[in-house]
């Protein structure tokens, strides 16, 4: 976590370390105000200002040490013989045939899966990461816990006890299995439907409920909307409402880890609708160019609030977008816990060992409404929702697989659900009866010394509250 704020110092340290590295090959030649250094075959010469300090090392930092996997593949020569275009970035073969690249593949990119709808291992599902009983039971237990918490908190909002809520129905496996495949040192940047990842890392039910009620024990001090969780202890960056802003941030954080030579990566989640934001493209391109160890996980749940994917994409979903940026990508069945776990494990290994970004598209239908502010029956059929709720439920699918292994029973199921419900009822009771953060907390944690305009705002707010006390919550202290 501390590495996030050390990018500048990390760069200085990296440049100093590289001052001991020698560039092999011919000496550089000066042209104009620039030094030109020959690099490895197939890579254009490095051009850097003559006035830069550590000219050799800067060129080495950004070009020489790039992985071969990131270089353009050799072009097949066409009927123009040995002629080609020596262009920055690599040689490009000429052709006398005018041919446009197809805008889409003849067939859609396949979706990787391991489990069938009845929890059985499919015949071609041998290529997956094995999980033991302890891991499988925890994954399943957390899925059940998330499902029950969503049910309770959704009802609490409908009763007017909290202002807002978002459920993860249908996407439980996509987030919990992703978190299970990571280590505690990996940094997670969520969108807003990833509480399962935070639950996996040890965030308690009481902490979840405290945040939704915005009481004095809420880590955000009541200044965020419900379900905008965050925890520095668990390397889970606080949810931010603006869509896709976390993706460029993830690329920067990942590059910071790379500079500090950390054995960790960054994992950034995004919804299918968020891929239409400019930050999605900026984040992927920046991560690709800088070869940052970041995994971009897109939860393609079929509906970006009320926009179907048919209206969202002209391309084949999200997975094909990675190729345009030179990023290895995979499409995975988000209702299949084993497939998600295996794909994220492999993506993490690739991101860290090869120091490069990876794109994962998870196909998991959003069964619930987009939020408590939405009624999804206005734009999709009840039959469609019911099909995914009953026939393709990721929690039931994984339970069947765990049961087939002899690791779960009806008694285990009853005990688990009873225990979670009791914990949630108690957590809600405690959170609801707890004091709200004092008014003073609205003006803290941004500046070490509050500027004059902020002091003036606080003074004005107090005057308004004192003048119209009935318009403000009586349980909020002014001190």
Report, in angstroms and rounded to the nearest whole number, the Rg of the chain calculated over CA atoms: 26
Architecture of the domain delimited by 133-433: 3-Layer(aba) Sandwich (3.40)
Count Cβ neighbours within 10 Å for each residue of 157-193 and write b for 16 or more, e otherwise: beeeebeebbbbbbbbbbbbbbbbbbeeebbbbbbbb
Give the per-residue pLDDT at 223.
93
Lowest-pLDDT range of 30-34, 191-195, 314-318, 414-418 = 30-34
371 is catalytic: yes
Closest among 397, 462, 363 to 118, alpha carbons compared: 397
Catalytic residue selected from 256, 329, 371, 376: 371
pLDDT of 1 higher than 50:
no
Give the per-residue pLDDT at 67.
53
Catalytic residue selected from 168, 256, 370, 376: 370
- DSSP states along 199-260: HHTT--HHHHHHHHHT-TT-TTTT-S-TT---BGGGTBPPP-SSTTTHHHHHHHHHHHHHHT
Which of the four pLDDT bands, split at 50, 70 and 90, describes residue 385? Answer: very high
Catalytic residue selected from 155, 386, 432, 456: 155
Which of the four pLDDT bands, split at 50, 70 and 90, describes residue 89? Answer: confident
370 is catalytic: yes
440-463 pLDDT tens trace: 899 999 899 999 999 999 999 999
3-class state of residue 64 by DSSP: helix
Which of the four pLDDT bands, split at 50, 70 and 90, describes residue 102? Answer: confident
238-253 pLDDT tens trace: 999 999 999 999 999 9
Q: Give residue limits of the domains in the chain.
A: 133-433, 439-468
Which of the four pLDDT bands, split at 50, 70 and 90, describes residue 101? Answer: confident
Which of the four pLDDT bands, split at 50, 70 and 90, describes residue 170? Answer: very high
Alpha-carbon gap, residue 140 to 196, rounded angstroms: 11
Query: Element (H or E) spanning 298, and its range?
Result: strand 294-300
Structure-derived torsion over alpha carbons of residues 98, 101, 102, 105, reported in degrees to the nearest 10: 140
Question: Model pTM?
Answer: 0.83
Tell how strand 358-363 and strand 294-300 pair up: parallel
Catalytic residue selected from 69, 163, 241, 373: 241
124-164 pLDDT tens trace: 656 899 999 999 999 999 999 999 999 999 999 999 999 99
96 is catalytic: no
194 is catalytic: no
Section 229-239 average pLDDT: 97
């Amino acid at each position: 976590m501390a590495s996030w704020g050390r990018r500048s110092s990390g760069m200085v340290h990296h440049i100093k370390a590289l001052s001991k590295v020698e560039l092999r090959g011919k000496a550089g030649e000066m042209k104009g105000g620039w030094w030109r250094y020959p690099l490895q075959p197939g890579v254009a010469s490095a051009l850097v200002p003559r006035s830069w300090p550590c000219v050799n090392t800067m060129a080495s930092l950004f070009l020489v040490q790039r992985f071969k996997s990131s270089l353009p593949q050799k072009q097949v020569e066409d009927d123009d013989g040995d002629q080609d275009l020596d262009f920055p970035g690599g040689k490009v073969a000429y052709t006398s045939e005018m041919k446009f690249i197809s805008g889409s593949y003849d067939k859609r990119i396949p979706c990787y899966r391991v489990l069938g709808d009845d929890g059985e291992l499919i015949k071609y599902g041998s290529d997956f990461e094995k999980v033991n009983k302890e891991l499988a039971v925890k994954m399943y237990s957390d899925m059940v816990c998330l499902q029950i918490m969503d049910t309770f908190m959704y009802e609490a909002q409908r009763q007017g006890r909290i202002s807002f809520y978002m459920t993860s129905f249908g996407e439980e496996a996509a987030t919990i299995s992703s978190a299970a495949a990571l280590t505690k040192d990996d940094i997670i940047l969520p969108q807003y439907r990833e509480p399962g990842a935070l639950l996996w890392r040890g965030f308690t039910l009481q902490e979840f409920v405290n945040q939704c009620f915005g009481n004095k024990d809420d880590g955000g001090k009541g200044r965020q909307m419900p379900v905008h969780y965050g925890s520095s202890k668990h390397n889970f960056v606080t949810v931010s409402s603006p869509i896709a802003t976390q993706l460029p941030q993830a690329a920067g954080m990942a590059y910071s880890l790379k500079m500090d030579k950390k054995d960790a990566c960054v994992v950034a989640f995004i919804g299918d609708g968020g891929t239409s934001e400019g930050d999605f493209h900026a984040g992927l391109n920046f991560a690709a160019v800088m070869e940052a160890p970041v995994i971009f996980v897109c939860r393609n749940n079929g509906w970006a609030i009320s926009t179907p994917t048919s209206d969202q994409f002209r391309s084949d979903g999200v997975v094909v977008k990675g190729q345009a940026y030179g990023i290895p990508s995979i499409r995975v069945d988000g209702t299949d816990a084993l497939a998600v776990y295996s794909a994220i494990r492999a993506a993490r290994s690739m991101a860290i060992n090869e120091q490069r970004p990876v794109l994962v598209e998870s196909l998991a239908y959003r069964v619930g409404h987009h939020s408590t502010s939405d009624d999804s029956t206005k734009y999709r059929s009840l039959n469609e929702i019911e099909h995914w709720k009953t026939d393709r439920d990721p929690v039931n699918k994984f339970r069947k697989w765990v049961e087939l292994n002899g690791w779960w029973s009806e008694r285990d199921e009853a005990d688990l659900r009873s225990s979670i419900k009791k914990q949630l009822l108690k957590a809600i009771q405690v959170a609801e009866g707890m004091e709200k953060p004092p008014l003073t907390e609205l003006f803290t944690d941004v500046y070490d010394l509050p500027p004059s305009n902020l002091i003036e705002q606080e003074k004005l707010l107090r005057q308004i509250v004192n003048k119209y006390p009935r318009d403000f919550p009586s349980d909020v202290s002014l001190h």
